[in-house]
Amino acid sequence: MIPDGYDLEDQIRSTRSTQVWRAKKHSGEPVVLKLAAKDSRVESRFKREIDAMLAAAGPNVMPVLDFDDSYSWYSMPVALRTLYETPVPTSFEECLLVLEAVTRALNPIHSRGQVHRDLKPQNILWLEDEVGGRWVVSDFGIVRNPAGLTTEQLTRVGGLTGSEGWAAPEQHDDAHVSTITADVYGAGAILSWMLTGKRPSFGQVKPVDEPQLKAVLRRATNSDPAGRYSNLEDLLKAVTDSAVQRTTGLESLLEAGDWPQVSSYVSQSERLTRVVKLLPKLDQSQVSDWYKADSVGLTWATSESLDDLASDIRSLEFDAIDKFLSWGVIVLRVLVQESKYDAAERVATALFGATAGIDQNKPAKAILKWLSGLSQQAQQAMEAALHSSSSWDFFKQHAVDTWESRGESDLVQRLREE
């Protein structure tokens, strides 16, 4: 149905559920009309889309000019182009402008627990009006409502909800589980495309050349939602700070206690030598500060550097390797004290695997000593790490070769006996 007061001109796109047209109001004002198909499910989704855009209204959200009470259509201004039409690769400064716009646009819906779920260059448009020229986010058609308020019938389970390549991996199975970290993934994929000119594919985002940004975007597009930045503001800060970090050494970052930046630095495999030498200088109190400031960064930066160490010890001295592996126990101690058993298992898998792979005796003894005093729940996580890292036999041999101590944990006793 063509809304009263409008004349349709050119169709922009058409799907089973919507049509998008260039149109003119009878007053002569050019607009874009989005029409919903005659279907109760589509109209429910359309209502959710309009409500989300109105609630998020701001300079970086596509304005809703008009809509009807039945939520069967709405109108919006005519944009000059989409981000997808921008020549890529593009500049770091242009990437920042886009990320700032996306962050401002989605913060209002993220604060209510909603998720856009369809961030892609085609849905970021350049708009010029009385407010000025800027990037705006559009198409809130598959917004996910807060947990407990979703409508099961509007989103399929077992199929992609979003757009191939730009959607987070979890959106390919059950999009109901998507959190705002899915939008972090989408923003990271867009930035990677802008910087490399390479379109992402499922679960594969092209790495950038610049080491600091490479580490930031690798975290933003982690396949595990828990490994990403927790929100777009944290991603924006990390991208912005990456420009500063190019001239800042790890020593300065550690001295300043700039833990999110430390996370980014440590995640860069090119700097493993500095990481291995300097991180063991951090005591448990400092590791606790790192955890409080950036718990996800601590977990993933530590585990990734341990993975890098296991695959290439380079020209590092074994004494430095020993100290770094033993320092990993401090990280585990902090994570277990915070009852973050999944994170501890991730770090332990990397630590146990590296220790066994490089065949380091001193760290093995430090690890066994720590394993001896764990709670039952922590033991379960560590046993899973021993098996997933294929290091059970290595630590079993070390357990057999050491004296039994009073009050040993069940886990160490099983290592000794099997």
6-51 tens-digit pLDDT: 999 999 988 888 899 999 999 999 999 999 887 767 778 888 899 9
Query: Is 123 contained in some domain?
Result: no
Residues of the chain with pLDDT > 70, as a percent, come to 94
Query: Is 14 contained in some domain?
Result: yes
Please identify, among 78, 107, 132, the residue that sits at the C-terminal boundary of a domain.
78
| DSSP secondary structure letter of residue 122 | G
Check residue 209 and give its pLDDT: 87
Asked whether the whole model's pTM tops 0.85, one would answer no
Please identify, among 55, 78, 101, the residue that sits at the C-terminal boundary of a domain.
78
- Two tokens, residue 160: 């992609």
Residue 152 has pLDDT above 60, yes or no: no
Check residue 15 and give its pLDDT: 85
Query: Is 186 contained in some domain?
Result: no
More confidently predicted of 153 and 168: 168
Query: Is 368 contained in some domain?
Result: yes
User: Could you give the CA distance from residue 154 to residue 42 in angstroms, rounded to a whole number?
Assistant: 8
Please identify, among 78, 111, 128, the residue that sits at the C-terminal boundary of a domain.
78
- How many C-beta neighbours within 10 Å does residue 205 have? 25
Query: Is 47 contained in some domain?
Result: yes
Residue 151 has pLDDT above 60, yes or no: no
Check residue 406 and give its pLDDT: 67
CATH of the domain at 47: 3.30.200.20
User: Could you give the CA distance from residue 137 to residue 384 in angstroms, rounded to a whole number?
Assistant: 43
Residue 280 has pLDDT above 70, yes or no: yes
Q: What is the mean pLDDT of residues 281-304?
A: 96
Q: Domain containing 43: what range?
A: 6-78
Domain count, the chain: 2
List C-alpha distances in Å: 138 to 130, 166, 179, 317, 378. Answer: 18, 15, 19, 54, 46
Query: Is 111 contained in some domain?
Result: no
Query: Is 202 contained in some domain?
Result: no
Sheet with 18-25, strands from edge to edge, namely 6-14, 18-25, 30-36, 73-76, 66-67
Query: Is 365 contained in some domain?
Result: yes
